[in-house]
Amino acid sequence: MDRFAASVGQTDGGRIVVTVSGELDLGTADRLWADLEPLISPRSVVVLDGTALNFMDSSGLRVLLRAGNRAVREGAAFRLVAPHPAVQRVLELAGTAGHLETRGTVEEALAG
Amino acid sequence: MQDGPMDPDIPSLEAPRAEEYAGYARPAPDGAVPAPATAADTPRVPSVLLAIPADRDYVVLVRSAAAHIAAKLDLGMTDVTDLRLAVDEACGLFLLHPAFSGAEDGGDLECRFEVGPAALRITVSAFVPPAFAPDQEDIGWIMLGALVDELGWDSGGGVGMVTLTKRLTARER
């Protein structure tokens, strides 16, 4: 079993949900970026469902920030759902409130 | 396995003689031992030394060790979360640094957890190239500063060392 997994799905409306689970750290963050980068194109809506993510470090955070920046540049949307306290702690420490769009649930993230 | 008395034909285990263990004695780390604790505040968590390959994929072992030691110290959930993250970031200061050569050269990261009378001290060390120093503008270093009570960097003799200190309250030690 891998300690990090990511899978890409699409809703009927063409919105993209990337579901991740496990530990997003310095050993796995590059894999997430490889998945995310091609998905963030003009007018795309990409939701990162990190409901099953239980750890993230600054390497993981850098990928999320890079995805958020790319979304702004491309005129896309990138939204994060990651309720685990260990992930929330990193967002809080890094003060990312103004740099990353976060939502409480995937439904909310897809709605806008 | 049965719970009753052991078979009388099997000799009881004898305590090992000291000399049998002599070869396993680990030399004291130079200058890295906290001041000797008095009997009243002798820590109940032993020191732990963990060496991992200098490879990003093995940092998970250091996080596990930190979480276990934090739990043994009865730290709260927030402190356990913070310590796991802190050791991860400390390893990252080496492993993510462009000048760090890592496991290709057979290097490893050594992580030492020591519970002193008033603090848990964690050191992460590795062989580093000359003039190597962590980027103190980096988000990893900045987060580390917020995660522990004291954060330090030292180097000498080709070895770089990050020191994290987490103060313990009377209840925790």
B96:A59 CB<8 A = yes
A26:B63 CB<8 A = no
Percent of chain B topping pLDDT 90: 64
Instruction: Kindly give the pairing relationship between strand B119-127 and strand B159-167.
Output: antiparallel
Instruction: Kindly give the pairing relationship between strand A16-24 and strand A45-56.
Output: parallel
Q: How many angstroms separate the CA atoms of B34 and A56, rounded?
A: 31
Weakest-pLDDT range from A1-15, B29-43, B95-109:
B29-43
- Taking residues B74-103, report their average pLDDT: 94
- Sign of the C-alpha dihedral computed for residues B26, B27, B28 and B32 taken in this order: negative
Secondary-structure percent of chain B, ordered helix, strand, coil, rounded to 5: 35, 25, 45
Q: How many angstroms separate the CA atoms of B48 and B35, rounded?
A: 17
Instruction: Kindly give the pairing relationship between strand A101-102 and strand B48-53.
Output: unpaired
> Dmax over Cα atoms in chain B, in whole Å?
68
What is the pLDDT, as a whole number, of residue B23?
35
Stretch 19-58 of chain B: residues touching chain A, C-beta under 8 Å = 55-57
pTM for the model? 0.83
What is the pLDDT, as a whole number, of residue A96?
86
- Taking residues B146-154, report their average pLDDT: 97
Mean pLDDT of chain B: 80
Stretch 31-90 of chain A: residues touching chain B, C-beta under 8 Å = 55, 57-59, 61-62, 85-86, 89-90
Between residues B15 and B146, the one the model is more confident about: B146
3-state secondary structure A9-45: EECCCCCEEEEEEEEECCCCHHHHHHHHHHHCCCCCE
What is the pLDDT, as a whole number, of residue B6?
44
Weakest-pLDDT range from A96-100, B67-71, B137-141:
A96-100
B88:A90 CB<8 A = no
Name the stretches of chain A with pLDDT < 50.
none
The answer for A14, left when phi > 0, alpha when psi is -120 to 50, beta otherwise, is: left
